[in-house]
Amino acid sequence: MSSDTTFASLGVPTSLTTVLAASGITIPTPIQAATLPDSLAGRDVLGRGRTGSGKTYAFLLPLLTRLVASKTSRQSRKPRALILAPTRELANQIQAAMTPLAKPLGITSLTIFGGVGQNPQVSALRGGVDVVVACPGRLEDLLGQGALTLDAVEITILDEADHMADMGFLPGVRRIMDRTPRSGQRMLFSATLDAGVDVIVKRFLSNPVTHQADSATSQISTMHHHIFHVRADARLPVLVDLTSAPGRTMIFTRTKHGAKKLSKQLNASGIPTVELHGNLSQNARTRNMDAFQAGAASTLVATDIAARGIHVDDVNLVIHADPPVEHKAYLHRSGRTARAGAEGIVITLMTDDQVSDVRDLTRRAGIKATTTRVDVTHPLLKQLAPGTRTLTEPLVLVAEESNAPRRNGGGRNAGGRSGGARSGGGASDGRGGPARNGSGRKPAATGGSSRGGAAGGTSQRSSGAKRSSSQGGGRSGGQGGSSSVYSTSSSRGGAAAFSSGSSIGGR
């Protein structure tokens, strides 16, 4: 890509480049530079690029450009464009990236997902929206109820298609795409092109132009891989030391139970931590992500639900507390750091009985990792996670179980498989929501290197400042499931607490 390449030179209109430039986004990423000329021209596009390559803007910019140029108008129950995503979190991030771009154009959008009540979604569809960002399960439910039709869709986008295949969504995707007009433009973005995805391409894309920028298995020069060979009893102390350093950390476990247990252990050790897995209600998942993004929690412990499509600024350390089974999962987990050229460290914890499995995993992933036998005193810990270690007073996790029935939360999307948004599924008219950079990044909510800092200021983990769920317009409890509250008693007097459900600083 030439250094002179700009969004404007690729054909993106001034109305959009102005919004991008206001956020400091002026240079297209390779996948954007490769696909935009064809997608803006209306061609069907197959874009292949690894996670963090900027695929979101690669399809949002042509989608909005072409909708503005279209002579059609908004109609009740008939969206003009459809974006399919595999998870609630990814749908949420697509909506957040689109909102500031769509606002000056007068384009409205709606997220459709399971795990929350469908009535706001049905009501918004009745009023008419231009773009629907949806996950397959709830969308099929609403199609079956007649809440919307897809015969007016001019542009269909399938994001993270290989993840759709991994989650078993492709049959639903085929049924949905069969209901969109054959004459419409279709774009498919995927990190890999497995057999299931190839079937979708051959069936629904017409003479597609294929572009690839950075394969899913290519080494990222700014990502540094390490394997820590640890005794089983050293696993938690090593994790506590690493996560008590300044900066954001994402830790991956193999099971939902493992994520919950480790989150409790880290909180009890003085690390503000939230969890993300399929056993949480949608509201709890959203609130926990808000706390992590805002800096109220410095560490996120997650299952592979967060391995794809999740972007949080300045995650400089990813830890595989449990090595994944599949090499693709390793690559996607690791892709939460070293995004858009930033530096990132990836650490895999390996016990004696995991040596052969981890060796096979890294070989299949095509990565070269440095293996070191460590304990909590090893100097490599502070080399890879530098800075003063800071702990709060002992934190206690209090799980507040809600017995209220979940309204319309079942169906295909139950159990956390389909996507959602912070809006609770309501329509967006373009108000609010920060723009992102060329890879879909959002400006960090916190300043400085203090892990415990809330948006708009700094704090120390041991401070007595109170972060309650009422602060910053935090959301109230979820519809079913559990809502986690982390509290700490300060020796200086007064209660220092924050809720994993609070939205620090308001949005």
- The answer on pLDDT for 234 being more than 60 is yes
For 119-166, give the secondary structure using H, E and C: HHHHHHHHHCCCEEEECHHHHHHHHHHCCCCCCCCCEEEECCHHHHHH
Domain for residue 483, yes or no?
no
Domain total in the chain:
2
- Average pLDDT score over residue span 84-107: 92
pLDDT band at 162 (very low <50, low <70, confident <90, very high): confident
The reported pLDDT for the residue numbered 124 is 97
> Are 78 and 204 in the same domain?
yes
Nearest C-alpha neighbor of 368 from the set 334, 336, 325, 322: 334
Q: In terms of pLDDT, which residue wins out, 74 or 502?
A: 74
Task: Check whether residue 355 and residue 306 sit in a common domain.
Answer: yes
Which carries the bigger pLDDT value, residue 398 or residue 490?
398
Is 427 part of a structural domain of the chain? no
Same domain, 206 and 239: no
d(CA 335, CA 308): 8
Predicted pLDDT at 283: 84
- Tokens at 189, concatenated: 């973005």
Answer yes or no: pTM beyond 0.85: no
Output the pLDDT for position 184: 96
- What is the rounded (10 degree) CA torsion for 222, 187, 177, 309? 20
Distance CA 411, CA 135 (A): 12
Residue 384: the pLDDT is 93
> What is the pLDDT of the chain when averaged over all its residues?
77
- What is the band of 492 on the pLDDT scale with cuts at 50, 70, 90? very low
Q: What percent of the chain has pLDDT over 70?
A: 71
Domain of residue 300, residue span: 223-391
pLDDT at residue 475 greater than cutoff 70: no
Is the confidence at residue 505, as pLDDT, over 70?
A: no
CB neighbours (10 Å) of residue 139?
Answer: 29
How far is the C-alpha of 77 from the C-alpha of 148, rounded, in Å? Answer: 4
Q: What is the pLDDT of residue 482?
A: 38
Comparing CA positions, the residue from 155, 213, 153, 209 lying closest to residue 186 is: 155
Q: Look up residue 74 and give its two tokens.
A: 């908004």
382 CB contacts (<8 Å, ≥6 apart)?
245
CATH code (residue 306): 3.40.50.300
241 and 202 co-located in one domain: no
Does 402 map to a domain?
A: no
State the pLDDT confidence band at 224, using cuts at 50, 70 and 90.
confident
**What amino acid is encoded at 76 in this protein?**
S
Nearest Cα residue to 81 out of 132, 30, 31: 132
Residues 231, 105, single domain; the answer is no
Asked, for residue 454, whether it belongs to a domain, the answer is: no
Q: Looking at the domain assignment, is residue 419 inside a domain?
A: no
Partnered with residue 134 across adjacent β-strands are 84, 112
The mean pLDDT of 21-48, rounded to a whole number, is 92
* Cβ atoms of residues 147 and 77 within 8 Å: yes
Query: What's the rounded Cα separation, in Å, for the pair 283 and 402?
Result: 12
If you search the block for the tokens 């929206």, which residue do you land on? 129
Residue 383: which residues within 8 A CB-CB, separation 6 or more? none
In this predicted structure, which of 38-47, 196-205, 237-246, 478-487 has the lowest mean pLDDT? Answer: 478-487
- Tell me which of 30 and 496 has the higher pLDDT: 30
- At 30, list the tokens: 């390779």
